[in-house]
Structure 1
Amino acid sequence: MNPPTVKFVSECFIKPKYSSEESKKPVYLAPWDLMMLSVHYIQKGLLFPKPPGFDENSLKDLLQKLKESLSLTLVHFFPLAGRLATLQQDEPPLYTVYIDCVHSPGARFIQASLDLSVSDILSPTDVPLLVQSFFDHDRAINHDGHTSSLLTIQVTELIDGVFIGCSINHVVTDGTSFWHFFNAWSEVFKAKVENNLTISRPPIHKHWFPEGHGPILNLPFTHQDQFTSRHDAPLMRERVFHFSSESLAKLKGKANSESNSTKISTLQALSAHIWRCVTRARGFLPDEKTNCRLAINNRTRLNPPLPNDYFGNCIQTVKATTTAGELLGNSLGWAAWQLQQVVINHTDKKVLDWVDSWIQTRFIYQLGQFFDTSSIMMGSSPRFDMYGNEFGLGKALAIRSGYANKFDGKVSLYPGIEGGTSMDLEICLQPHFMKALESDLEFMDTVCF
C-alpha cells in the first residue's frame, strides 16, 4: 500500500484588493536583495489543530477568509504580488533585476489535502520528508520569480489539523520581513472588517542603497546562467530539539561564569553549545578548522539605523573561526565569547565596508558555498513572532519549514510554544552525524522532551 501523499485540490491567484500609485512603479532592489538571486525561497509554516466541530463548510469559510484577508494585506505588501523582471540593454550596457507589480497574476494560493493526522507529523523523531510537500517552490531558486509567484500560500487540510505554509522569494524578504508580512496577514484576518486597510506596522518600501549608488544597480552579467546555479543537499536527517527557559538560563549562566562576563546573551551561549556539540559529533581532527556562522540583522547596525519595518533584505552573516582542538579544549564560555566578539564588532563601518566590497564585484550568493561540513550556520530567530499568528484556529501547535536553504550543519531557531525564552532548534545533519549528536551526553542533558 502506497503511503499517503499531499493531494492538490485547487489553486488561484490573489491580487491586492486596491492598487496604489506606488505599486504601479518598478521596485528596484538593494544590494542585499540582489545577492539572493541564486538561493532558495523562504519556506515556513504553522500547523494548527482543527477546532471542535470543524467540517467541510468550516474549511470553505476559512479558505474564503484567508483569500480575502490576503488580498487586503497585499495592498500594503504589494511587491509580494509581483514578478521579477530584468531590464537589459547593450548601449549603454545595463543588466538589472527589479520587481514588476503590474504585469503579474498576483500571489498564488493553493488548497491541498493529506490523509494523515497531526500526530503523524509531530510524533516521529525526525521531521517527515512529507512536510516538504506543504510548500510551493520546492527546490526553486529566487531567480525563478521571473515566471513563478513571489509569494505562495498553501493550505493543507489534515484529518485533524490545518497547515498554512508560506513560501516567499528571498530576493523580496529576509526573515524579519517574512514574519512582518505573516503577522500583518494574521492581524487583518482577525480584524474581521471588510475593506479594512489599517495595520499596526505598515511596511517601509523605500529600499536602502549605499551613498552614490541606486536606485538602479547594474549587474556585471549578460545572461542568467552566469550567476545562477542549482544545489541539491545530501541525504540528511532533520530533527527539532526543544530547549526550555530553565535549560537556556543555565547555559547562559555557565557561559558568562566561565568567561568572567555578563555580556554573553542566551542566543550566543546556545549557539556556542551547538557549535561544540556538533563539532564533537563530527569527530574532527584537532587541527581541522571549524566555523560558526550567525545570520545578523543589519537594520540596527547601520548609522542611522533602518526601521525594523524596513521591507526587504537587510542581513548578512558573521562568523567565528577556530580549530576543533581549540574549540573542544576550551570551555563553553570561551566559545561563546568568540561569538560575542564577532557580533559586537559588526558595526556600521563593517557593514558599509562589506557593501562597498560588494559594489566592486556585485557577486551573487551560490547556495553550494554554504554547504561546508566543517561549519554550522545559525539562521532564523526566536525573536520573530511566530505563535502570535492565528487564523480562527487557535494557537499553532508547531512551526515547520520546507526543503529550502538546508544543508549539513544548518540550524534554524524558533520560539518555544510555551513562551518565555524557550526555543526550538531545527537541526539538519547527515545521518551519521545526527546519530553521534543524539549520543552526546552534554548535548542531550540540555534538551527537554
Structure 2
Amino acid sequence: MSLAFSLVHFYTLSGQFATQKFVEEHACSFYIDCNKGPGARLIHASVEYTVSDIVSSKDVHPIVHSFFDRGEKSVNYDGHTGPLLSVQVTELIDGIFIGFTMNHTIADGTSFWHYITSLSEIFRQLKDDGENEDECDVIPISRKPILKTLFPDYDYDKILKLPYLEPEEFIFRYDPGPLRQRIFRFSSKSIAMLKAQANEECGNQNNISSFQALCALTWRSITRARNLSFDIDINLSVVMNTRPRINPPLPPEYFRCFFGGALSVSKVGDLLRNGLGHIALLINKSIKMQDDKVIRETAKQVEEMPRINPSGPNSPHYRPYGVTVSGSPRFDMYGPEFVLGKAVAVLAGDANVEDGRVCAKPGRDGGGSVDLEICLNPETMNALEVDEEFMSFTSSM
C-alpha cells in the first residue's frame, strides 16, 4: 500500500507516455498521460542466493541485473508501453533486494532519491497490520514534490515539436559488448588525502573539492589503463544537478529531469604528465562554467531546436575514450529504510552499463567516504586493478 500512497504525491509516475503527431510538419511531441496505461509496476521475485553471494563478488554479480524490472535493452521511449516506475522486491535466502527503475525522461538522480526517501517515509508510517490504510486518502510526507513548472516566463501553450515522425528515426539500441563492473571504496581518510594533494599541487587555497579531486584521480587512472596515444583528445563529463545553479535557485523538490554536464577536455599526454592538481583545476573550471547564464542559454537552444541525441556510438557527441561520472555522494542512499535496517550496499542498474561509466555513491560508513561503481571493458579494468596510484587510495568492495 505504501507504493499506492506514494503515487498520490508523485502522480506523474503512474502515467504513461503518449505521442502527438504532426504529419504535415514531419514532427511529433511527447507528453505524459496520467489516465493511460497500467500505472506503476510492483514485482515480487525470489532467488536462491545469499546477501554474501551478492556483496562478496569481486565484480558486480551478474544476477544483480535481473533484480531490476527493465533490462539493458530498454530506452526512455519504452515508457509508451511500459511503466514509468517499477519496483521489484527480490527475496534472497537471508535478505531483500529492492530494485527501483524510473524513466529518466521525467526524473533525474535528485528526483529519484527524493521519491525513494518519500516512499520510505510513507512505509514507516503505515501500521504493520494495515489498520490505517483506509483512514485517509493521503499519507503526509515531509518534502512534497513540486510538479508544476516554476518558470513564470514559460509559454505554457507552446508545444515543443521534435523533427521526427516515427520511432525508427531516433531510437537506437546497441550492444556495448563484454564489460566488467566493479565497486571501489574510498575511505574518508583517502578522500581527505586526495583533496589535500590536489589543492597543494595547484596552489588553489582549498578551492578544489573532495569530489573534484576524486574525479581527477579516476579520469587519469582510467586513461592510463587504456594505454592510449598521447596525442588523442579525451574528455570527462561530470553529470551535475543544475537546480542550485539557476538564479534564483530551484528547490530540490522540483520533480523534473534537471541536470547538466560539465565537460573537461585534455590531450592524453597532458593528463598523464601533469599532477593531480592540474587535472582537478581543469575539472573545477568546467564545473564553475555551468552557471545561470549557460543553463538558460542551453535550455533556450533546446526550445528553439528540440532534438534527441542517441546514446552510445550512434551519438554525434560520442567519444570512444570518454569517462562519464554520474550519481553523487550527496544523495541520501542509505537513509531510506523499509523495516529491514540500513542497507548493506547500493548497486546501480543497467543504465550505467557502458564503457567509461562511473557511478558515485556515498560510502556506507558515512563520514565523507565514497564508493565508485566503475564500468569498463575487461582489458581496461584489468589494467586499472594494478594501477599503483589508483589502488593506493582505494579498496575493492
TM-score (normalised: structure 2): 0.93
Which of 115, 118, 124 in structure 2 is aligned with 1:181? 115
Q: Distance in 1 between matches of 2:120 and 2:160?
A: 34
**Helix, strand or coil: the match of 1:72?**
helix
CA distance in 2, matches of 1:342, 1:191: 43
Of 111, 116, 133, the residue aligned with 2:49 is 116
Secondary structure, aligned partner of 1:267 = helix
Select 1:321's aligned residue among 254, 259, 265: 265
Q: Which residue of 2 aligns with 1:250?
A: 193
Whether contact under 8 Å (2:352, 2:375) holds in the other structure is no
2:145 matched to which residue of 1?
A: 203
**1:60-75 equivalence runs, <5 A:** 68-75=1-8
In structure 1, the residue matched to 2:310 is 366
Structure 1 residues 235, 210: CA separation in 2 closer, same or farther (over 3 Å shift)? farther
Aligned partner letter, 1:414: K
Q: Take 2:381 and 2:153, find their aligned partners in 1: how far apart are those partners?
A: 46
* 1:211 shift after superposition: 4.4
Q: 1:170: Cα distance to partner?
A: 0.6
Question: Aligned letter for 2:252?
Answer: N
The CA deviation at 1:172 is 1.4
Paired position in structure 1 for 2:327: 380
CA distance in 2, matches of 1:407, 1:92: 35
1:230 aligns to what? 173
Residue in structure 1 matched with residue 299 of structure 2 by the alignment: 355
Question: 3-state DSSP class of the match of 1:398?
Answer: coil
1:260 Cα deviation (Å)? 0.6
Q: Shift in Å at residue 209 of structure 1?
A: 5.9
Aligned length: 382
Mapped contact 2:28–2:164 kept (Cα < 8 A): yes
Partners of 2:171 and 2:36 in 1: CA distance? 24
Alpha carbon RMSD of aligned pairs, Å?
A: 1.7
Match for 2:311: what amino acid?
L
In the alignment, the residues of structure 2 paired with residue 401 and residue 271 of structure 1 have an alpha-carbon distance, to the nearest angstrom, of 18
Change (3 A) 1:124 1:298: same
Residues 210 and 355, structure 1, Cα contact 8 Å, conserved in 2: no
1:149 corresponds to: 83
CA shift in 2, pair 1:411/1:448, >3 Å:
same
Q: Does 1:164 align with 2:83?
A: no
CA-CA distance at 1:241 after TM superposition: 0.4
- Partner residue, 1:11: none
CA contact (8 A) 2:42 2:88 kept: yes
In the alignment, the residues of structure 2 paired with residue 446 and residue 314 of structure 1 have an alpha-carbon distance, to the nearest angstrom, of 32
Equivalent residue for 2:289, pick from 313, 323, 345? 345
Q: Distance in 2 between matches of 1:212 and 1:73?
A: 29
Moved more, 364-373 or 257-266: 364-373
- Give per-residue Cα distances to partners, 1:210-234, cap 9 Å, x unaligned: 9454453222222222221112212
Cα distance, 1:386 vs. partner? Answer: 0.8
Name the counterpart of 1:32. Answer: none
Q: Which has the higher contact order (CA 8 A, sep 6+)?
A: 1
* Corresponding residue of 1:292: 236
One-letter code aligned to 1:429: L
Q: 1:278 aligns with which of 189, 201, 222?
A: 222
Report the counterpart of residue 36 of structure 1 in structure 2.
none
CA distance in 1, matches of 2:228, 2:59: 25
Alignment correspondent of 1:332: 276
Q: Deviations over 1:171-204 (max 9, x none)?
A: 1110110000000000000112634521000000
- Check conservation: 1:367, 1:405, Cα contact below 8 A: no
User: What is the one-letter code of the residue matched to 1:199?
Assistant: I
User: Deviation of residue 356 (structure 1)?
Assistant: 2.1
Tell me the amino acid that sits aligned with residue 331 of structure 2.
F
Which residue identity does 2:149 align to in structure 1? H
Q: Secondary structure of the residue that 1:432 maps to in structure 2?
A: helix
**Which residue number in structure 2 is paired with residue 54 of structure 1?**
none
- Which shifted more, 305-314 or 206-215? 206-215
Deviation at 1:436, TM superposition (A): 0.5
Distance 1:263 1:415 in 2: 21
Partners of 1:299 and 1:442 in 2: how far apart?
35
- Matched with 2:360 is 413
Letter in 1 for 2:387: D
In structure 2, distance between residues paired with 1:85 and 1:295: 28
Distance 1:109 1:71 in 2: 10
